[in-house]
Amino acid sequence: MALESHHKHHKLHFLLVPFLCPGHLIPMVDIARLLVNHGAFVTIVTTPLHATRINPLIDTVNASKLRIQVVQFEISVLEFGLPEGCESLELVPSRELIRNFMVALSKLQTPIEELIEKNKKKKEPTPISCILVDKFNYWMENVAMKFQIPRLIFDGTSCMNLVVLHNLFKSKVYENVQESNPIIVVPNLPHRIELTKSQLPLELNPEARDLRDFDEKIRTSQESAYGVVINSFEELELEYVKEYKKVKGNKVWCIGPVSLSCNNDVGQRGNKSKIGIDSCMKFLDSWPPNSVVYVCLGSLNNLALAQFQELALALESCNFPFIWVMKEDDSLKKWLQESGFEERTKERGLIIHGWAPQVLIFSHNAIGVFLTHCGWNSTLEAICGGVPMITWPMFADQFFNEKLVVQILGIGEKLGSEIAIPLGKQENYGASVKRERIVEAIEKVIGDGDGENKKKEERRESVGKLAELAKKSMELGGSSYLNMKILLEDMERLTFGKPYHSS
Ligand code: UDP
């Protein structure tokens, strides 16, 4: 793991502006660690809720006397019709309010400008020299322009997804799809990647038209940024990294998997875990290697009740030990108790209502398979843990992450979910993934059916090799380590070499 760079970048001061939800905040904080490990100073701007979520992590970094600070600004959620404390996307109670959330968030622009202004007059830390901003915070484009500070976008997805989106958007092939043959083949890719109209990413999906104006702002603000920082590693998707570099005139830096920056602090990533690390590890210690099904569908998903029940019945009937992470929700808790599910599976099932120490869980050799929604962070974390996947994509980049995992890398078994479900609309879709299919997929990945053994071993071997490559990429001299160095040198040249003018 890259700890200390030979070259120190003491003069660089990065302003990090993450989007407000766990899947975007967590990798940005990991990036902050990497930056300070390379000698840069980092200021992270966030809200009080997120500051409490990341403080343990920041404290650990500070204890090692690295240079990082968290600046908190309140967002006036009530003024925008959001419930009190609604400072994170997963807390927004309905799809209609996502718009209000985005607008409320954009009001951070003014305090951020004041922060930069104030900082200009200070000796310590040095003035802010670069901005690294989540792609969803499109309004930071104005800030960067105003202060003429180079702006990098953090896009928390894969290069493959970015190339696919680019090619779809440019070719508009999805506009001519017939009902009789809804298959879309993404043009000009290293692999034949097909999808149906109903799996289109939300930016292009008619079901998600309500937020189209934001998509447009996000797209244009990305185009004017200096470059893109990606949580991926070149060995994972080399052909797509090359393609994406072509699209972005080389200004792409794969610096991940950033979760590997955590070293031993994995119990503290994101929210506070709802289960003691010890009891989680004790449960896992009691099962043989590669035998436990780990189920976590990310921080944003709310399954429709019928789908939730279908999943429960699948876990019950397949007889494997499992850890099932789900959102805190009284009605789900009630169903699990009243239906008898909890009682019937208590010997082999660990249910976590709330936040699980996911990266830590992946580090245990009892985990045999990860049933995942294919969020990019989760996908990478499973790869780093050498854990094969069962894929259940639901929206955004998840269908393409599935293609990478199943079709290209051969480290997963797909459930066959067919429809991208816009966030907040899950109840409309019922139980589209059937229990028999879930059971069959689990059997295929960790069961001992004779016919599947070869494929099972191949999957495990392939993901094990990728885990090794991931680790190497982050070590001194590895591809991601070097990319981080190149990025910092580039930023230094831009900031202290000649005056920077953004377009
Ligand atoms: N995560 C976690 N514990 C949980 C749920 C999620 O640590 O109980 C973390 C997970 O490790 C990952 C992030 O939250 O880093 C989720 O990001 P991802 O891109 O996988 O999915 P999203 O939640 O954004 O859909």
In the chain, domain spans:
270-470
Ligand 1 centre distance from Cα of residue 68 (Å): 23
Mutate-to-test residue for ligand 1 from 261, 266, 351, 377, highest number of ligand atoms within 8 A of CB: 377
Please work out whether the CB of residue 161 comes within 6 Å of at least one atom of ligand 1: no
Burial 186-222, CB ≥16 within 10 A → b, else e: beebeeebebbbebbbbbbbeebeebeebbeebeebb
The CA-based diameter of the chain, rounded to the nearest angstrom, is 70
Helix axes 479-492, 453-474, angle to 10 degrees: 30
DSSP label at residue 50: H
Question: For the domain 270-470, what is the CATH superfamily, name and number?
Answer: Glycogen Phosphorylase B; (3.40.50.2000)
Ligand 1 centre distance from Cα of residue 448 (Å): 30
- Look up residue 309 and give its two tokens: 């029940």
Residue 448 burial (C-beta neighbours within 10 Å; 0-12, 13-18, 19+): exposed
Query: Quick one: pLDDT at residue 175?
Result: 85
Ligand 1 centre distance from Cα of residue 296 (Å): 8
Contact 168, 248 (CB under 8 A): no
Please work out whether the CB of residue 22 comes within 6 Å of at least one atom of ligand 1: yes
Ligand 1 centre distance from Cα of residue 27 (Å): 10
Distance, C-alpha 164 to centroid of its chain: 17
Query: CA-to-CA distance for 229 and 255, rounded, in angstroms?
Result: 7
Q: pLDDT averaged over the chain?
A: 90
Mutate-to-test residue for ligand 1 from 376, 378, 399, 423, highest number of ligand atoms within 8 A of CB: 378
Contact 411, 466 (CB under 8 A): yes
Phi, psi of 152 (to 5 degrees): -105, 145
Nearest CA owner, ligand 1 atom 2 = 358
List of the chain residues with pLDDT < 70: 1-7, 9, 61, 64-66, 206-208, 263-268, 450-451, 498-503
Nearest CA owner, ligand 1 atom 15 = 377
Please work out whether the CB of residue 296 comes within 6 Å of at least one atom of ligand 1: yes
Ligand 1 centre distance from Cα of residue 218 (Å): 22
Contact 456, 444 (CB under 8 A): yes
Ligand 1 centre distance from Cα of residue 344 (Å): 28
Query: CA-to-CA distance for 173 and 182, rounded, in angstroms?
Result: 11
Ligand 1 centre distance from Cα of residue 25 (Å): 10
- Locate all alpha helices (DSSP H) within 319-477, ordered by sequence: 330-338, 341-345, 358-362, 376-385, 398-402, 435-446, 453-474
Please work out whether the CB of residue 393 comes within 6 Å of at least one atom of ligand 1: no
Query: Quick one: pLDDT at residue 58?
Result: 72
Ligand 1 centre distance from Cα of residue 298 (Å): 5
Please work out whether the CB of residue 356 comes within 6 Å of at least one atom of ligand 1: yes
Q: What are the beta bridge partners of residue 13?
A: 41
Query: Quick one: pLDDT at residue 3?
Result: 44
Query: CA-to-CA distance for 346 and 20, rounded, in angstroms?
Result: 35
Please work out whether the CB of residue 299 comes within 6 Å of at least one atom of ligand 1: yes
Contact 184, 173 (CB under 8 A): yes
Q: What are the beta bridge partners of residue 17?
A: 133
Distance, C-alpha 176 to centroid of its chain: 31
pLDDT tens digits, residue range 246-275?
A: 999 999 999 999 999 876 565 567 788 888
Mutate-to-test residue for ligand 1 from 54, 231, 299, highest number of ligand atoms within 8 A of CB: 299
Burial 459-493, CB ≥16 within 10 A → b, else e: bbebbbebbebbbbbbeeebbbbbbbbebbebbbe
Ligand 1 centre distance from Cα of residue 258 (Å): 13
Please work out whether the CB of residue 381 comes within 6 Å of at least one atom of ligand 1: yes
Query: CA-to-CA distance for 446 and 328, rounded, in angstroms?
Result: 28
The SS3 of residue 152 is strand
Query: Quick one: pLDDT at residue 105?
Result: 96
